[in-house]
Amino acid sequence: MDHIKRELDSNKETPTTSSDFQNGQLLQPVTTLMIKSETKEELWDNAENNESLKEELSIEKHEDYADNGEPLTLEQSFANMDASTKQYDMCVFFQQQYTTGTGRLGENLRQKSEALAKEKRYKCELCNKVFSQSGALTTHRRTHTGERPYSCDVCNRSFTQKVTLENHCRVHTGEKPYVCNICNNRFSKKTNLKYHYRIHSGLKPYQCDVCNKTFSLRDRLKEHYRIHTGEKPYVCDICNKGFSQCGNLATHKRTHTGEKPYNCDVCNMKFTESATLKTHYRIHTGERPYTCSICKKTFSKKGNLTNHHRVHTGEKPYCCDICNKRFSENANLKNHLRIHTEKAYSCYICNNRYADKSQLKTHYRCHTDVKPYMCVVCNKKFSESVNLKKHYRIHTGEKPYKCEVCNKRFTQSGHLETHKRTHTGEKPFTCSICNKKFAQKVTLKRHGRIHEETLTVTSETDNAHKQSYQVCKEPS
C-alpha cells in the first residue's frame, strides 16, 4: 500500500511534460490507453474459460501485501486509501498505470500482454481468428457449430461455456458474490464488478470518432455506433422486428412468450423488465426522484416529468393527421384517434358511444350521480379526478398555463387556448343559420338563442294569423 501511495505522491509532485498534457487534458496517452485496454479486454474475453490465464491478466496481481503476507487486491488497496484523496488518487492511479505504463503494475501488464499476444498459435480453420489457448479456440468453434453443451437444470437454457452457465444460474438463485469495496454494490459476475470500478475511477477509455462521446466499456461504444449507422443486427424470429441491442431483443421476445421474470417482493406483481420493476418499487417506497425545475413538483418516472414540463411550455408534439388537433402526450393522441375511426364502447342506458373505456366509465356516473372525488378543503365532490385537480387550483391559486404573448396566466389549458384567440383573431365557431363567427363555443350557444326566439315569435305569429283566417272564413 505504501508503494502505491509513494508512487501516486511522486506522480503528483513530478511535473508532466507538455507532450502529455495541454490545458489539463491528456493527449497522446489516451490513444495508448485505448489500445492497451482493448488488448487486455480481448485477452480477458479469450481467457473466460481458462483460470490460469485469468490469473496472469488479473488486475489483482500487483505488488502490495497485507500484514499477513497475502497480496492485496486493487480494490482492497483503494479501500485503504485516505478518504479525502480516494477519488483523485483512483483516477490518477488508473491513468498512470494503464495509460503510461509507469509503475510495476503497468509494466507487468504491458509485458504480459505483449508476450501473450505473440503466443497466439491456435487458429480457427473457418474464420482464421487466432487464440493463445486451445481452450479458447474450442469455445470459439462453438460459435460456428452452434454447439451449447452446458444446460441450465432450471429453465433448460443452454450455453457454449461453463462459466456462462454458472453466471446464468445466479439469475435463479439471486446470488451476487462479487462486492464493490467502495460502495458495497453487489454483482453476479466478476467482469461486471471490474467494469463497475470504472464508475469510481472515472475511466472512459473508449471514444466515438463521430461525436466524441466516451464510454467505460467497449461494448457500450459498439452499441452507441449503431445510433450513427442505424444498424439493427438483432432480429426477432417471430415478428422480424430489429433491435440495436441484444438485451432489447430479449426483452421484446417476452411480449410473445408472456414471460415476466422480475417479481416484486412486496406485492408479487411481475414484470418483463428489471427497469420496470425498479420504477414499480417507488409505489411502495414513495420515492419521487424526478423534480420539475419550474414548480418543484416531483415524479416517480422520468417520462411523467417530461410530459409535465409541457404544461409550462405549452408544447404539444403529437398531432392528429386527420384534424390537426395537437396533444402533449402520445397516449392522449391514441385515444383521440378513436374518435375518427371507432367508438367501441356503448352505454347500455342511453346508447351513447365512446372511443375510450375510461370515458364510458366516467359517463356512467351521470346516470348514477356517483362523485367519488372529493376536495379535502371544501368537501365539494366531482365525478372525474381531472375536474378535482382543476378545482384545487381555486384554493392554491396555481395558474400553470401562461400566454407567451402577454404573460397572462390561467388555471386550465382550455382557458389559455380561448384567450390566445384574442391575439390571433381566430373565430372557429360558426352559426349554421347566419354564418356569424365566434371565438368561444359558449358565445355561439348564447347567439343561437336569438334564432330560437325569432323562430318561436314567427311561429306564434303564424298560428295567430291562421286562427284569424279561420274565424273570418266561418259563416255568421
Q: How far is CA 364 from CA 206, 326, 351, 370, 382, in A?
A: 59, 28, 11, 8, 13
Please name every residue paired with 345 in a beta bridge, in sequence order, or none if there are none: 354
Confidence at residue 106, expressed as pLDDT on a 0 to 100 scale: 58
**Cell numbers for 107:** 509494466
Confidence at residue 415, expressed as pLDDT on a 0 to 100 scale: 86
Condensed to tens digits (0 to 9), the pLDDT of residues 81-101 reads 444 444 444 444 444 444 444
Confidence at residue 314, expressed as pLDDT on a 0 to 100 scale: 86
Confidence at residue 465, expressed as pLDDT on a 0 to 100 scale: 52
Confidence at residue 202, expressed as pLDDT on a 0 to 100 scale: 82
Q: Does domain 399-445 have CATH number 3.20.20.70?
A: no
- pTM score: 0.35
Confidence at residue 54, expressed as pLDDT on a 0 to 100 scale: 42
Determine how many CB atoms are found less than 10 A away from the CB of residue 100. Answer: 19
Confidence at residue 7, expressed as pLDDT on a 0 to 100 scale: 41
Angle at the Cα of 224 from the Cα atoms of 131 and 214, rounded to 5 degrees: 85
The CATH T-level fold of domain 2-231 is Double Stranded RNA Binding Domain (3.30.160)
**Cell numbers for 476:** 255568421
Domain ranges across the chain: 2-231, 399-445
Ranges in the chain, pLDDT < 70: 1-120, 453-476
Confidence at residue 236, expressed as pLDDT on a 0 to 100 scale: 92
Phi–psi pair at 95, nearest 5 degrees = -60, -45
